[in-house]
């Protein structure tokens, strides 16, 4: 038996949604507790399936992890019990591969299974490995595992990434903070989650300059100090909630946002005719869905339009009168939700890496299936808007990135419940 959401759409939804801590910040920061012994306290941690998966992985490496409350963890690193991350745990989540950088920093070696994760295309780890090699690690790949070894630890070096990969940037930063000498990382990813990881490591005593730019300089230090840290809000959850608010004519207020983390996304919505009132960390939508006009979106590395908001954005575009377009440049398989939206009455055609969307009056209820995390969110939003009963299957994807999705929307008046199904 698996879980699905049964949604009776077309209901009035109003109230306030508070944004949780960032999943994509929490994962690398929790993993960064590997790089130095000590006791850490992390706050504003979202309560998600991926976090629980990572806790099991950290415990398998010898760390003690205690949940202090719904959104806080204490992590005690008394030294790793081993430097191998097994396939059983790594296959559940791609971010698990980030333990390699932490292992190299503290153990000077590491063995990690090649990762699994979402079905949104090939996300190779070659950029991670090139970075480790530039720091003096020897890489060996066999039997589905990557093994990295060093003679006497890592040595700072110059690295130019072929693509500003978020995962590779994070992994290299973690490896470099205790390497001997200076590491210069060019074409580094600039996402807010990278800044958050850097700020966490800097609080521990790491020497990193250029934070928030494409050029990071890391002066290795011998020793870091465990610390307490609060995770930034999740900009993808924020974006999803803002889209939900527009779909329901501004009846949902969104709090706990960092507006500058959402700049390209908000600019694109403004280009479509949306207006906002932002006071501190609270956003209110001042426009109706019918006020919006079509536009074109191209997903790009930060600060461009985030690929993780592409599928919720498509749900919105489906109900905007006229012809809109989304070009996906990051992942080659990220239109798997299109046939499902079309089952709900959308008019979307795929031409290579571009989705051409013709606006319709409304979605119609249907049974659909989430193919990945963000696709799941896009289908739930469509089902909330459609008249009648919809079933969204495979919601375990959604549980990986949205905390208590159904409870939060139920509190606003949505008719959504979690049920068991055979599919």
Cα separation, 248 vs 265, whole angstroms:
18
303 membership: H or E segment, kind and range: none
> Annotation-wise, does 125 bind a ligand?
yes
Give the CA distances from residue 128 to residues 123, 173, 284, in Å, rounded to whole numbers and listed in that order. Answer: 11, 10, 40
User: CB of 382 within 8 A of CB of 363?
Assistant: yes
Phi then psi dihedrals of residue 277, to 5 deg: -115, 120
Residue 163 Cα to chain centre, angstroms: 18
Residue 289, annotated ligand binder? no
Contact between 56 and 79 under an 8 Å Cβ cutoff? The reply is no
126 is in an annotated binding site: yes
Task: Please indicate if the annotation marks 394 as binding a ligand.
Answer: no
| 105 in Cβ contact with 77 (< 8 Å) | no
Nearest of 29, 187, 8, 175 to residue 95 by alpha carbon: 29
Q: Which residues contact 314 (CB under 8 A, 6 or more apart)?
A: 326, 337, 338, 341, 348, 355, 357, 378
Gyration radius of the chain's alpha carbons: 22
CA distance 89 to 60: 9
Of the candidates 124, 98, 126, the one whose C-alpha atom is nearest the C-alpha of residue 112 is 98
Residue 52 known to bind ligand: no
Indicate the helix (H) or strand (E) that contains 405: helix 405-410
Q: Active site includes 118? A: yes
Closest CA to 273 of 245, 303, 294, 252: 294
Tell whether 211 is in a known binding site.
Answer: no
Q: Reduced to 3 states, what is the DSSP secondary structure of residue 32?
A: helix
Contact partners, residue 391, CB within 8 Å, separation at least 6: 4, 5, 6, 7, 366, 367, 368, 421
Q: Of the listed 118, 198, 227, 318, which one is catalytic?
A: 118
Q: Which residues pair with 359 in a beta bridge?
A: none
The C-alpha atoms of residue 212 and residue 198 are separated, in whole angstroms, by 9
Q: Which token pair is 181?
A: 């000498």
Q: Is 107 helix (H, G, I), strand (E, B) or coil?
A: helix
Tell me if 24 is assigned to a ligand binding site. Answer: yes
Q: Is position 94 annotated in a ligand binding site?
A: yes
8 Å CB contact between 209 and 195: no
Binding residues: 23-24, 94, 123-127, 308, 330
Detail the residues annotated as belonging to a binding site for UDP-N-acetyl-alpha-D-glucosamine.
94, 123-127, 308, 330
Annotated binding site for phosphoenolpyruvate: 23-24
Residues identified as active-site: 118
């Amino acid at each position: 038996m698996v879980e699905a959401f049964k949604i009776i759409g077309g209901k009035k939804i109003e109230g306030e949604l508070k944004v949780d801590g960032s999943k994509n910040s929490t994962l690398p920061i929790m993993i960064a507790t590997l790089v130095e012994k000590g006791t850490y306290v992390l706050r504003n941690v979202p309560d998600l399936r991926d976090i629980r998966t990572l806790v099991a992985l950290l415990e398998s490496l010898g760390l003690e992890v205690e949940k202090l409350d719904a959104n806080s963890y204490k992590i005690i690193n008394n030294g790793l019990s081993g430097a191998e991350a097994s396939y059983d745990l790594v296959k559940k989540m791609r971010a698990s591969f980030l333990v390699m950088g932490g292992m190299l920093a503290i153990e000077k070696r590491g063995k990690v299974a090649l990762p699994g994760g979402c079905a949104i295309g090939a996300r190779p780890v070659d950029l991670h490995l090139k970075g480790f090699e530039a720091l003096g690690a020897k890489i060996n790949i066999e039997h589905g595992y990557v093994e990295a070894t060093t003679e006497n630890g890592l040595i700072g070096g110059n690295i130019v990434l072929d693509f500003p990969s978020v995962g590779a940037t994070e992994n290299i930063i973690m490896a470099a903070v205790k390497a001997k000498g200076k590491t210069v990382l060019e074409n580094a990813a600039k996402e807010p989650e990278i800044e958050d990881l850097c700020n966490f490591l800097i609080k521990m005593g790491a020497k990193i300059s250029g934070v928030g730019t494409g050029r990071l300089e890391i002066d290795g230090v011998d020793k870091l100090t465990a610390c307490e840290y609060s995770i930034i809000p999740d900009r993808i959850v924020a974006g999803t909630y803002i889209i939900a608010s527009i779909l329901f004519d501004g009846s949902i207020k969104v709090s706990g946002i960092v507006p500058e983390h959402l700049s390209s996304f908000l600019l694109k919505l403004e280009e479509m005719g949306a207006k906002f009132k932002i006071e501190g960390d609270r956003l209110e939508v001042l426009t109706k869905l019918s006020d919006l006009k079509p536009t074109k979106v191209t997903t790009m590395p930060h600060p461009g339009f985030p690929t993780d908001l592409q599928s919720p954005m498509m749900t919105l575009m489906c109900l905007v009168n006229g012809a809109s377009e989304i070009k996906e440049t990051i992942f080659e398989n990220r239109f798997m939700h299109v046939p499902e939206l079309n089952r709900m009455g959308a008019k979307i055609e795929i031409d290579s890496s571009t989705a051409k969307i013709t606006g319709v009056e409304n979605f119609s209820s249907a049974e659909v299936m989430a193919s990945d995390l963000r696709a799941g969110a896009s289908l739930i939003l469509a089902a909330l808007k459609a008249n009648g009963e919809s079933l969204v299957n495979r919601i375990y994807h959604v549980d990986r990135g949205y905390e208590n999705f159904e409870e939060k929307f139920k509190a606003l008046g949505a008719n959504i419940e979690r049920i068991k199904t055979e599919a």
